[in-house]
Amino acid sequence: MFNGAEMHKLAKRLWPINRSLTGEGVRQTLQILKEYNCQMNISEVPSGTRCYDWTVPKEWRVKEAYIICPAGNKLCDFQVNNLHLVGYSRPFIGDLPLDKLQEHLFSLPEQPNAIPYVTSYYTDSWGFCISNAQRMNLIKGNYRVVVNTELFDGSLSYGEILIPGIKAQEIFISTYICHPSMANNEISGPVVATFLANWIRGLPKLRYSYRFVFVPETIGSIVYISKHMETLKKNVVAGFNVSCVGDDRAYSYLPSRKGNTISDVAAQHILKWTDKNFIRYSWAERGSDERQYCSPGVDLPIASIMRSKYGEYPEYHTSLDDLERVVTPSGLEGGFSVLKKTIESLESNYYLMATNICEPQLSIRGLSREVSARKNSSKNKLIMDVLTWADGNNSIFEIADNCQCPVWELYEIVDELLQKGLLKKIDGPLLN
């Protein structure tokens, strides 16, 4: 049910939709995601709403957009690939000679077959994105440009899912829904987040509450923060920005601004035991909504767990970031899996305290071999190591680090020791 093939199927449904900061593409995307999580609440924030330094922009609608070449053939047709049109292009219909047209074209000489992804949200302009190979073939002459778009007072849309747990404390997952047809950045994000929400809702018992938000990047997270600042600061104890979680080439981590929150501890622990070559980025290399969630004054504990990070793989922000060569079922499943393990670790993160003074006698409790020889068995050793570090001051992450094993190797042992009364768990502070 939570396998990569299913995720890849959803990704394919989302692929053709023209998402942007606002508009029908965002709403269609949210409607599809809501099929998977019927509790999703969709909000609309009117254009012109002031949010800190920002204003919700007008809604953008594309009717058609293309260029007619001197020879009469159609070029850069938005119908063929929504990347062709610069995002938020203002309407323009007119004839231009090639040299004037060139000022509105974007291509990547170093990637001649890629259509780049360009936006112009906040300035009054229009443009087309084109492969450099195609651009090189343009001949002198008159080009008819049709940018039949509309900017109008509409709204910005975002989705939100709350899955209540025993505690009001929340783990906050944010992902974004504002890029047209690109796979790792961004379709992988909302797909994995959707499956994660589904998996969490199915768990028999939840310690924490979980809040998922699906927002347009930057303006969407700013809008969300501005409307929920107080409750975010009160409730959110950990969280992750889910982006670029669909390819197979790497695991990556980008810290929260503070770098030492429980989200950072959990993310690094899970990643180092999943892929010892995982890439650690620094806060200097941030680039998604963590910029807002961790900004001074907001300071939420939001880290990022990724596969190949935005800006760091060759297909990034081009038409080459697709669902064939870049994002794969196994890539998505890996992204889902590390996030799942991270959440499991947070659910299991207690401070542990041994109940006995001195070591307990394992042999009378069915926990030990009967005749001692030169070496303890490995499980016995792990039991004794858990008990020795269980002094009430160590979280499960610290105990696992001291035992030099992943947290998940402790879950069964800890349960056994809890059942036998040799250990108790303390719902301590999230970090010492």
Q: Which residues contribute to the site for a copy of itself (CB under 8 A)?
A: 51-54, 86, 106, 116, 118-123, 125, 127, 218, 221-222, 225-226, 229, 257, 283-284, 286, 291-292, 294-299, 311, 316-317, 353-354, 356-361, 363-364, 370-375, 384-385, 387-388, 390-392, 402-404
Q: How far is CA 375 from the centre of its chain?
A: 45
Closest CA to 343 of 188, 167, 176, 172: 172
* Beta carbon nearer to a copy of itself, 233 or 325: 233
Q: In the bound complex, what is the minimum distance in angstroms from residue 226's beta carbon to a copy of itself?
A: 8
* Beta carbon nearer to a copy of itself, 198 or 376: 376
* Beta carbon nearer to a copy of itself, 339 or 403: 403
* Beta carbon nearer to a copy of itself, 33 or 51: 51
Look up residue 367 and give its two tokens.
């926990």
Residue 238's DSSP bridge partners are 171
Q: How far is CA 328 from the centre of its chain?
A: 16
| Long-range contacts of 381-384, Cβ-Cβ distance < 8 Å, separation of 24 or more | 382/409, 382/410, 382/413, 383/413, 383/417, 384/359
- Coil, strand or helix at 422: coil
Q: In the bound complex, what is the minimum distance in angstroms from residue 101's beta carbon to a copy of itself?
A: 16
Closest CA to 424 of 351, 353, 367, 364: 353
CB neighbour list of residue 131: distance below 8 Å, 6 or more residues apart: 107, 112, 113, 114, 115, 319
Q: In the bound complex, what is the minimum distance in angstroms from residue 68's beta carbon to a copy of itself?
A: 24
Q: In the bound complex, what is the minimum distance in angstroms from residue 210's beta carbon to a copy of itself?
A: 23
Give CA angle at 162 (43, 36), nearest 5°.
80
* Beta carbon nearer to a copy of itself, 286 or 309: 286
Q: In the bound complex, what is the minimum distance in angstroms from residue 130's beta carbon to a copy of itself?
A: 14
Angstrom distance (rounded) from CA 186 to CA 305: 14
* Beta carbon nearer to a copy of itself, 71 or 358: 358
Q: In the bound complex, what is the minimum distance in angstroms from residue 67's beta carbon to a copy of itself?
A: 18
Q: In the bound complex, what is the minimum distance in angstroms from residue 125's beta carbon to a copy of itself?
A: 7
Residue type, 73: N
Q: Give the number of C-alpha atoms closer than 13 A to the C-alpha of residue 35, restricted to the C-beta side.
A: 9
* Beta carbon nearer to a copy of itself, 187 or 387: 387
